[in-house]
Homo-oligomer: A and B are copies of this chain.
Amino acid sequence: MNVGFIGLGRMGVGMAANLLKVGHQVTVYNRTPDKASELLKQGAKAASQVSDACRGEAVITMLANDEAVESVAFGKNGIVQSLPAGAIHISSSTISVALSEKLMQAHARADQRFVSAPVFGRPNAAAAGQLNIIVGGDPAAVKAATPLFEAMGQKTYVLSESPKAANLVKLSGNFLIASAIEAMGEALALVGKGGVDRRQFMEMLTSSIFSAPIYKVYGGLIVSGEFEPAGFAAPLGQKDIRLTLAAAEELSVPMPLASLIRDRFLTLLAQGGENLDWAAISTLAAQDAGFSDRS
């Protein structure tokens, strides 16, 4: 397929590269153009402005937050203005439920199609084409975009015909991950201060009842205390919990654990943790306990 790709951060470069690998024609755009250089060697074309990435059958956006998506979607030469009728905007960024709804309506008014396709996976999974992709959108549009999902992910989950449902699911998934991080942080503060070897404790759990990637990846990170460089930085984690709580407020769903995690992120950021991986919120339980977290 002939597609545009907007947003060449740590996730986007891997995703775009995987599109190229299976033969799609990819026109890439990034606010800071030098991020594109490696992809250009792999066959991508460079777009000098957003609209130049909107000439094909679809354009994929993979950006940091609502503001970044709004800045490329709306306004003069933005995606909504530039995309041909019938073409598909595939939004893979983790954005708010409200913005997802707004995009769907804007594209519908412009006779374009909108598919929400946020992903689970860190940069190494993006590079390996091993993302899990959550898809919400009109069935025909989803079907048309499927070759792209297959190139970028290991599995695609079509959960709803409503794009915003996919965003709600993505946010809820990130909330679940952050919850696991918080739980591990508290448990490790307890067993650590109680004299148990923290690494052995995590190995026991992740080789038995908690044998899931999330516990293995983050348990390892937490025990090692290596939060830099960040695979997923704390301000992004904080944003996702904010968006989760905003969606929950809109639906009148109280989420006390999400509130607790929100406060952890604010504490981490207030204490200078903006460059740390979001898993660093796990250190705060130990800090409160006056326990040095590093084994």
A: residues with CB less than 8 A from B are 97, 120, 132, 134, 155, 157, 159-160, 162, 165, 168-169, 172-173, 175-177, 179-180, 182-184, 186-187, 189-191, 193-197, 200-201, 204-205, 207-215, 242, 244, 247-249, 251-260, 262-264, 266-267, 269-272, 285, 288-291
Contacts and interface: CB of A to CB of B under 8 A. Distances in A.
A189 B209 CA distance: 24
Contacts of A213: 208-209, 211
Chain A binding surface, main DSSP class: helix
18 contacts: A97-B194, A160-B196, A165-B196, A172-B187, A172-B190, A172-B191, A175-B183, A190-B244, A190-B253, A193-B252, A209-B213, A252-B290, A254-B288, A256-B256, A256-B260, A257-B257, A270-B288, A271-B288
Given A159-B200, A254-B262, A271-B288, 14 more contacts: A120-B208, A165-B191, A175-B186, A179-B186, A190-B248, A193-B251, A194-B251, A252-B269, A252-B290, A253-B288, A254-B266, A259-B260, A263-B288, A272-B290
Given A172-B187, A270-B289, A208 B253 contact: no
A191 B260 CA distance: 19
Contact of A175 (B97, B187, B249, B272): B187
A243 to B, nearest CB: 12
A121 to B, nearest CB: 8
Contacts of A169: 191, 196, 201, 204
A257 B182 contact: yes
Most buried by B among A162, A214, A255, A291: A255
A171 to B, nearest CB: 8
The 10 lowest CB-CB distance pairs between A and B, nearest first, are A212-B212, A179-B183, A259-B259, A254-B263, A270-B290, A252-B270, A254-B266, A253-B289, A172-B187, A132-B208
